[in-house]
C-alpha cells in the first residue's frame, strides 16, 4: 500500500487526517493548501484528493465539498506516517500518582487506571482484570460452617480472593482441616492457578496419596474450590464517547452504550489483544463488531515477568489523537505491570 502513494499524496493525506482529528469537519482543498505550507495550489490539492478518494483513502460526505478519511486512511496513517511523541513528564507523574498501589486493593488500582486513561485521553478508558487462572497460588484455607459444609478460601499472590462453599463426604474436624491446608499450601504455593488442577491430578496418582485418605480428600476438595470466573472489565468515562460529534445520533448512542453494558462481545475483542505482547490498534471495521463502527481501540498488555496478566487501553473515535494516546497506553501498561509484579 505504501508504494501506491507518492510523497505528495502522503503529505496531503496526512494533512487531511490531522485536520479532521482536530475539527471533525470535512477538509477541503483550500484548507490544505493554505494551512500546511505545502506550496501547492487548491487545484493541485483537489486533483490529489480525487486520486486518494479513488484509492479508498478518502470519502465525500453528501453535504460537503470536503473529504473525510476512511478506516483505510487511518490504518495507513498509523502504520506509515504517524510520529508517536514521547509522553510528557506531567502525564507520567499523573499516571504514577493515580495508579500507585499505596495500600489499595489491586482491583481498585485497575478501576482507577480505567478512569485515569479516560481523563488523560478524553475518550473512554478500559482495563481487563487478570483472569483468576493467570494468578499465582498463595494459600488455601478451609473453614468449617457446620455439618459437612466448608468455606474454601483461595488467595493468590496479588491479593485476589475466591470463596466457595463446598460439601465433604464426611464431617471433618479442625485438626484434619489444618493438616489438609498445610499439605496443599506446601504442594501448590507459587504455582499458576491455571496449572493447579494439572498438579492435583498428578499428585492423586502418587503412592503417598493412595495410602492416605485424608490427603486424597484434601486434593478432591481443592479441585472443587477452583472455579473459573470470567474476567472483570473496568470501563471509565463512557460519556466521553458521546461528546464526540460523530456519535451525536440517538440510535448510535444506544448502540455504543449497549456495547459497554453487554461486555461479553467487547471482552472477546480484548481477549484477542492479549494473544501477543505490546500495542494493538483496531480501527473501525477491523474490530469485527458492528458497535465499534467509527471507533478505534488502542490496547497494551500488562505482564508479570513473561506472563500476560491482562490488557488495558482506550476506545475513541477513529479520528482520535493516536500520537498522544499510544504513548499514554504504552506507559500505563508498563507501570501497571511493575505495580502488580509478584514478589
CATH number of the domain where residue 19 is located: 1.10.10.10
Specify the CATH number for the domain of residue 249. Answer: 3.30.450.40
Number of domains in the chain: 3
Q: Are residues 323 and 252 in the same domain?
A: yes
Whole-number pLDDT of residue 92: 93
Q: Are residues 100 and 171 in the same domain?
A: no
- Tell how far CA 121 is from the center of its chain: 15
Domain span including residue 40: 2-81
Q: Are residues 35 and 99 in the same domain?
A: no
Surface-to-core class of residue 135, CB atoms within 10 Å of its CB (0-12 exposed, 13-18 middle, 19+ buried) = buried
Q: Are residues 251 and 330 in the same domain?
A: yes
| One pLDDT digit (tens) per residue for the chain, 343 residues | 556 799 999 999 999 999 999 999 999 998 898 877 778 888 999 999 999 999 999 999 876 678 999 999 999 999 999 988 889 899 999 999 888 765 567 778 889 999 999 999 999 999 998 876 667 788 899 888 888 888 888 888 767 788 888 888 888 888 888 998 998 899 888 887 778 888 888 887 886 776 677 778 878 888 777 766 567 889 999 888 888 888 877 787 787 877 777 777 788 888 888 877 889 999 998 988 888 888 999 999 998 777 788 899 999 999 999 999 999 999 999 999 888 775 4
Dihedrals φ, ψ of 130, to 5°? Answer: -60, 140
Q: Report the alpha-carbon distance of residue 81 to residue 335 in Å, rounded.
A: 27
Predicted TM-score (pTM) of this structure: 0.76
Q: Residue 299 is placed in which grid cell? A: 490496547
Q: Are residues 127 and 246 in the same domain?
A: yes
Q: Are residues 113 and 239 in the same domain?
A: yes
Q: Residue 55 is placed in which grid cell? A: 484509492
Dihedrals φ, ψ of 266, to 5°? Answer: -65, -35
Specify the CATH number for the domain of residue 201. Answer: 3.30.390.60
Which segments of 60-105 does DSSP mark as H helices, in order?
71-76, 89-99
List C-alpha distances in Å: 73 to 210, 234, 278, 336.
65, 30, 23, 32
Q: Are residues 122 and 235 in the same domain?
A: yes
**Of 224, 136, 135, 143, nearest to 181 (Cα)?**
143
Last residue of a domain, one of 204, 225, 246: 225
Query: Is the separation of the CB atoms in 185 and 178 below 8 Å?
Result: no
Q: Report the alpha-carbon distance of residue 273 to residue 263 in Å, rounded.
A: 15
Q: Are residues 243 and 319 in the same domain?
A: yes
Query: Is the separation of the CB atoms in 171 and 157 below 8 Å?
Result: no
Q: Which residue has the cell 471433618?
A: 172
Give the residues across from 136 on adjacent strands: 192
Last residue of a domain, one of 225, 255, 284: 225
Amino acid at each position: 500500500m505504501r508504494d501506491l502513494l507518492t510523497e505528495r499524496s502522503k503529505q496531503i493525506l496526512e494533512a487531511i487526517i490531522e485536520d479532521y482529528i482536530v475539527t471533525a469537519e470535512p477538509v477541503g482543498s483550500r484548507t490544505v493548501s493554505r494551512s500546511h505550507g505545502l506550496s501547492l495550489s487548491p487545484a493541485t490539492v483537489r486533483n490529489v484528493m480525487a486520486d486518494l478518494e479513488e484509492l479508498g483513502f478518502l470519502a465525500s460526505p453528501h453535504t460537503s465539498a470536503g473529504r473525510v478519511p476512511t478506516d483505510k486512511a487511518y490504518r495507513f496513517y498509523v502504520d506509515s506516517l504517524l510520529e508517536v511523541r514521547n509522553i510528557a513528564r506531567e502525564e507520567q507523574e499523573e499516571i504514577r500518582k493515580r495508579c500507585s498501589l499505596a495500600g489499595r486493593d489491586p482491583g481498585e488500582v485497575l478501576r482507577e487506571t480505567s478512569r485515569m486513561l479516560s481523563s488523560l485521553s478524553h475518550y473512554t478508558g478500559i482495563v481487563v482484570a487478570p483472569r483468576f487462572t493467570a494468578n499465582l497460588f498463595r494459600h488455601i484455607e478451609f473453614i468449617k460452617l457446620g455439618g459437612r459444609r466448608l468455606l474454601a478460601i483461595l488467595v493468590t499472590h496479588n491479593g485476589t480472593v475466591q470463596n466457595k462453599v463446598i460439601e465433604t463426604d464426611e464431617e471433618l474436624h479442625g485438626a484434619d482441616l489444618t493438616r489438609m491446608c498445610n499439605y496443599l499450601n506446601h504442594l501448590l504455593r507459587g504455582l499458576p492457578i491455571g496449572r493447579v488442577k494439572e498438579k492435583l491430578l498428578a499428585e492423586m496418582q502418587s503412592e503417598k496419596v493412595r495410602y492416605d485418605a485424608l490427603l486424597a480428600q484434601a486434593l478432591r476438595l481443592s479441585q472443587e474450590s477452583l472455579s473459573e470466573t470470567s474476567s472483570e472489565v473496568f470501563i471509565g468515562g463512557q460519556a466521553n464517547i458521546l461528546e464526540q460529534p460523530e456519535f451525536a445520533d440517538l440510535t448510535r448512542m444506544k448502540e455504543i452504550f449497549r456495547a459497554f453494558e453487554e461486555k461479553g462481545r467487547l471482552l472477546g475483542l480484548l481477549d484477542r489483544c492479549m494473544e501477543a505482547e505490546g500495542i494493538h490498534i483496531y480501527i473501525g471495521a477491523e474490530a469485527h463488531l458492528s458497535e465499534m463502527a467509527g471507533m478505534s481501540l488502542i490496547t497494551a498488555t500488562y505482564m508479570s515477568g513473561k506472563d500476560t496478566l491482562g490488557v488495558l487501553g482506550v476506545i475513541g473515535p477513529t479520528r482520535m489523537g493516536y500520537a498522544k494516546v499510544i504513548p499514554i497506553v504504552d506507559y500505563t501498561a508498563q507501570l501497571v505491570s511493575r505495580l502488580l509484579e509478584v514478589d
